[in-house]
């Protein structure tokens, strides 16, 4: 019998939550009223975004992945397309995050209500003054959770997460992320680290803490390095559909070639509207629920 877990970033995805531009951007008016305040690089094109997303979502159908669509909801910003950030999924229930970006504070309540419709237990939630965003959280293996200490995820939030997971023998490793472009920038752990197989991770070493990089090497994880020229174009934000099969934003040829040399299959997507302008790659667009346990 196949076993499934929420404690993986690279096992075959069985089920996933998505939120489309149709349910997120809503209208040209909403895009126009929000994109500057949310620090998008430029205004997303609504029609082009829907076309990009249609192809992106079709990949999940091609892999027979069960897709659950978050509905449109008043009071949520166009940032809610990046649905990974609102929650952490564990084998013991969903943990609702508390967003470091104030404009996104309502998203965890929304995904929590949706989880209830899917009969997903809520293990707990992160409360003020603690903050955590899902882009700062990644499973290294079934017992090891890496958490980035960033401008979006603070020490208080990490402490609350440790308290929620301490009964379940989960080791949390805190990784202190650099200042980089400052508090207004979208900079998460998964901006510099994407596991794509048990022994392969995509990284941008210039912004990777030395202690964490050494930890990966000590675990015999092969590092696929993203060059500086491909960092801002989401070269490091890669979503594994199954071990060694991954989605990445098109236009990162060096990283793609390095992934392929590492034995991976790469499925490129156009992501100018749904990824690059808002600073969120394929991992950010998804909240995987269950993956195959290896």
Domain that holds residue 80: 4-292
Number of domains in the chain: 1
Confidence of residue 249 (pLDDT cuts 50, 70, 90): very high
Q: How far apart are CA 257 and CA 275, in angstroms?
A: 21
> Residues 182-199, buried b or exposed e (16+ Cβ, 10 A)?
eeeebbbbbbbbbbbbbb
Tell me the two tokens of residue 114.
Answer: 């949706």
What is the residue-averaged pLDDT of the chain?
97
At residue 294, the pLDDT reads 86
Contact of 3 with 293, CB cutoff 8 Å: yes
Beta strands in 28-120 (DSSP E): 66-69, 87-90, 93-96
CATH number of the domain residue 177 falls in: 3.75.10.10
Residues 248, 269: contact at Cβ < 8 Å? yes
- Contact yes or no for 280/39 (Cβ under 8 A): no
Average pLDDT over residues 100-107: 96
Residue 199 has which token pair?
């022994």
139-143, 181-185, 210-214: the lowest-pLDDT one: 181-185
**What pLDDT digit, counting tens, does each position of 63-100 carry?**
999 999 999 999 999 999 999 999 999 999 999 999 99
Q: How far apart are CA 88 and CA 67, in angstroms?
A: 17
Angle at alpha carbon of residue 265, lines to 260 and 266, rounded to 5°: 85
The pLDDT of 92-115, averaged and rounded, is 97
pLDDT of residue 2: 81
Binned at pLDDT 50, 70 and 90, residue 168 comes out as very high
pLDDT tens readout for residues 183-193: 988 899 999 99
Task: Give the percent of the chain with pLDDT over 90.
Answer: 97
Strands of the chain, DSSP E? 4-5, 13-18, 66-69, 87-90, 93-96, 122-125, 137-141, 144-149, 171-176, 193-197, 200-203, 222-225, 239-242, 245-249, 265-269, 286-292
**Phi and psi, residue 141, nearest 5°:** -155, -175
Residue 133: the pLDDT is 98
Nearest to 91 by CA among 16, 3, 6: 6
- Long-range (24+ apart) CB contacts under 8 A made by 30-33 are 30/78, 31/78
Look at residue 94 and give its three-state secondary structure: strand
Residue 1 has pLDDT above 90, yes or no: no
Evaluate if residue 245 carries a pLDDT over 90.
yes
Please give the model's pTM, rounded to 2 decimal places: 0.97
CA distances for 161 relative to 55, 89, 124, 134, 176, angstroms? 35, 12, 9, 12, 16
> Residue 129 — pLDDT band, cuts 50, 70, 90?
very high
């Amino acid at each position: 019998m196949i076993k499934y877990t929420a404690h993986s970033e690279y096992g075959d995805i069985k089920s996933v939550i998505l939120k489309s531009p149709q349910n997120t951007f809503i209208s040209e008016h909403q895009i126009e009223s929000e994109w500057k305040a949310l620090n998008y690089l430029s205004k997303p094109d609504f029609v082009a975004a829907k076309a990009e997303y249609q192809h992106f979502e079709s990949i999940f159908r091609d892999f027979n992945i069960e897709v659950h669509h978050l509905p449109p909801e008043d009071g949520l910003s166009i940032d809610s397309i990046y649905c990974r950030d609102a929650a952490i999924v564990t084998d013991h229930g969903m943990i609702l995050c508390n967003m470091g970006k104030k404009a996104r504070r309502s998203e965890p309540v929304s995904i929590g209500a949706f989880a209830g419709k899917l009969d997903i237990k809520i293990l707990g939630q992160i409360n003020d003054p603690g903050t955590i965003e899902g882009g700062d959280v990644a499973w290294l293996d079934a017992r090891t959770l890496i958490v980035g200490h960033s401008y979006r995820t603070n020490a208080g939030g990490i402490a609350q997460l440790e308290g929620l997971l301490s009964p379940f023998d989960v080791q949390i490793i805190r990784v202190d992320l650099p200042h980089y472009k400052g508090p207004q920038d979208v900079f998460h752990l998964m901006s510099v680290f994407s596991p794509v197989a048990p022994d392969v991770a995509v990284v941008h070493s210039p912004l990777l803490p030395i202690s964490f990089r050494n930890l990966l090497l000590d675990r015999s994880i092969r590092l696929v390095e993203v060059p500086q020229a491909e960092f801002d174009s989401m070269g490091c934000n890669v979503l594994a559909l199954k071990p060694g099969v991954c989605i990445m934003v098109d236009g990162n040829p060096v990283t793609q070639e390095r992934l392929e040399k590492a034995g991976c299959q790469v499925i490129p997507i156009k992501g100018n509207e749904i990824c690059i302008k808002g600073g969120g790659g394929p991992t950010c667009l998804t909240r995987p629920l269950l993956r195959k346990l290896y």
